[in-house]
Chains A and B, each alone.
Chain A
């Protein structure tokens, strides 16, 4: 059992619950996803542009190859014509020549972004023009029938260097494009690799974040569960403590009651002596004064001389006797109160309307003489101790009657307010009322309030409060001096049966 009690010690739950929240992790995860998406888009974009570049390069190379083919074709057409003189070759030549122009233009448009290639193209363009002019010159000679001249021209003019230079240029152009192709292919490859790496890294980070969030979440749930368990344990400990305190209180209460009983009992013994011997002195006084009167008569004195002494005696003895009587009443009251505290409650169904009607009936005579009335509203039936309830409400009604105003006919109204588990009885009178400063005091033993012109020891309300408290209820007072008082008695609708309590009184 001590284990539960030690668990109730305060723990810094709040601190444990304040670790980075899942919200932060979620935001971080989203940010990373957005970054991955952005980089993916960029990289895909780049890959596409890389692919376009590659296609472009391929187109350039294709065009250059076509140009090479066309040049070779013009050459072979020219030679065919020179050898055979057939018109077919001349037409073929013209066809091929016609295609070189557009092909050159195509290449030119394709390589506008590359100055080096443009330079090469310009040179090639000149060389091609030269070549074509030379071919046409030879062909013109052949057309004129000068075969010898044409062949000679072919032989003379054929500077193989120009042709070679053109070939080199075109090869260079292709090589440059191949280089570019390689570069672009590499770049494209790099982009793909980057894309993969970034995607994988992002995935890993997101997974890690997810795992972290999960762990934190689990830990938080564990902390919550632990907190809940501790709370439950604390609750149980609390209930246990309340039970213990209640038991302690009950014990203390029992002790006070038995103390009150013993004290009041033992106080009576000396009181009997005081009272007894005071009465003896009183009796002796009679003898004494008789003797004195006889002596004075013998001496011839006036008997009145001792009147003062007799009066002093009378006064002193009177005070002693009234004090003793009062003391006796007080002791009786304590004794009665302690006995009430020991009496076991017997819960039965009590019709409160009937109970109040009976109380009113027992006061009929007094009420009639004083011109007062008691109005009883609808009251419930409760399960409680009849005797205790009678004592409580007899005292309250007696008080209302006792402390009525002389100039106003007494009117008491009894009503009830239902609350879950409890019933509050309201006893409202139009009597003298109680000074606000005395509202707590009137419930104390031997304390009274207002004009002390009515008999009483200040016991009734103390008794009432003790009874109400023992029933597990409470009593409160609302009052205006000179206008009346309202007592509210709240008692359980069902009085729990007491156990383990025996009547010693």
Chain B
């Protein structure tokens, strides 16, 4: 992954956020990771104060999204990203505990690029994240318009 790609991590659980970051780093991904602990601040960052998303134009972003957020659902954020003119091409990786069939379908319908379930078993979890990190290292992220 090109150096200037920023990873936006929207994850309410601080522990999870730390573990995810650690394992992504272990995969050799050194890109900047910006973490948000709730939906509102993440949305503000992505879409700007006016909600247009113009602020994100020119950035190269990869979004790591948890679905269970305290103030809004990750599905809502996903929908907004994929409908926004400036952000719709940014890859969104849904990383959540839910392995509900309906939920997974909904996310892909809305345009999610990858859906990963967090395994409780730490080895599996670490593995999954590390592989995700490896995936990040080869993925091409377009700059937003």
Contact = CB atoms under 8 A, between A and B. Distances in A.
Interface in B112-145: 118, 120-123, 125-126
A273 B13 contact: yes
Nearest to B103: A504
A325 B19 contact: no
Contact of B68 (A269, A275, A279, A331): A269
Contacts of B123: 279
A457 to B, nearest CB: 15
A280 B97 contact: no
A102 interface: no
A214 interface: no
A120 to B, nearest CB: 136
B68 A277 contact: no
Interface residues of A, number: 20
Contact of A265 (B22, B98, B102, B122): B98
A88 interface: no
A272 B100 contact: no
B22 A272 contact: no
A136 interface: no
B97 A276 contact: no
Nearest to A325: B121
Contacts of B121: 275, 325, 328
A265 B126 CA distance: 20
Contact of A276 (B68, B98, B102, B125): B125
B120 A273 contact: no
Given A265-B98, A269-B16, A504-B102, A328 B120 contact: yes
A271 interface: yes
Contact of B120 (A266, A268, A277, A280): A268
B64 to A, nearest CB: 15
Contacts of A269: 13, 16, 68, 97
B120 A272 contact: yes
A505 interface: yes
A272 B102 contact: no
A278 interface: yes
Contacts of B125: 272, 275-276
A311 to B, nearest CB: 22
A208 to B, nearest CB: 83
A272 B15 CA distance: 8
B97 A273 contact: no
B97 A268 contact: yes
Interface in B1-46: 13, 15-16, 19, 22
A269 B96 CA distance: 9
B88 to A, nearest CB: 29
Contacts of A278: 122
A272 B126 contact: no
A276 B126 contact: yes
A42 to B, nearest CB: 102
Nearest to B14: A273
Contacts of B122: 272, 275-276, 278-279
Contacts of B102: 504
B6 to A, nearest CB: 24
A271 B19 contact: no
A504 B122 CA distance: 27
Interface string A253-295: 0000000000001101111110111111000000000000000
B62 to A, nearest CB: 22
A242 B116 CA distance: 46
A273 B11 CA distance: 13
Max chain A Cβ within 10 angstroms of own Cβ: one of B16, B19, B118, B120: B120
Given A268-B120, A279-B123, A273 B100 contact: no
Contact of B19 (A266, A273, A328, A505): A273
Max chain B Cβ within 10 angstroms of own Cβ: one of A276, A328, A505: A276
B25 to A, nearest CB: 13
A272 B98 CA distance: 13
A331 B97 CA distance: 13
A265 B118 CA distance: 12
Interface string A6-39: 0000000000000000000000000000000000
A280 B16 CA distance: 12
Nearest to A502: B102
A277 B118 CA distance: 15
A318 to B, nearest CB: 14
Contacts of B126: 276, 279
Nearest to A276: B19
Contacts of A331: 120
A58 to B, nearest CB: 124
A265 B15 contact: no
Interface string A117-135: 0000000000000000000
25 contacts: A265-B97, A265-B98, A266-B68, A269-B13, A269-B16, A269-B68, A270-B13, A270-B15, A272-B13, A272-B15, A273-B15, A273-B16, A275-B121, A275-B122, A276-B15, A276-B16, A276-B125, A277-B19, A279-B122, A325-B121, A328-B120, A328-B121, A331-B120, A504-B100, A505-B100
Interface of B: 13, 15-16, 19, 22, 68, 97-98, 100, 102, 118, 120-123, 125-126
Given A279-B123, A328-B120, 9 more contacts: A268-B118, A269-B13, A272-B15, A272-B125, A273-B16, A275-B120, A276-B125, A280-B19, A280-B22
- Shortest Cβ-Cβ A-B pairs, 9 listed: A273-B15, A275-B122, A276-B19, A279-B122, A328-B120, A276-B122, A268-B97, A271-B120, A268-B120
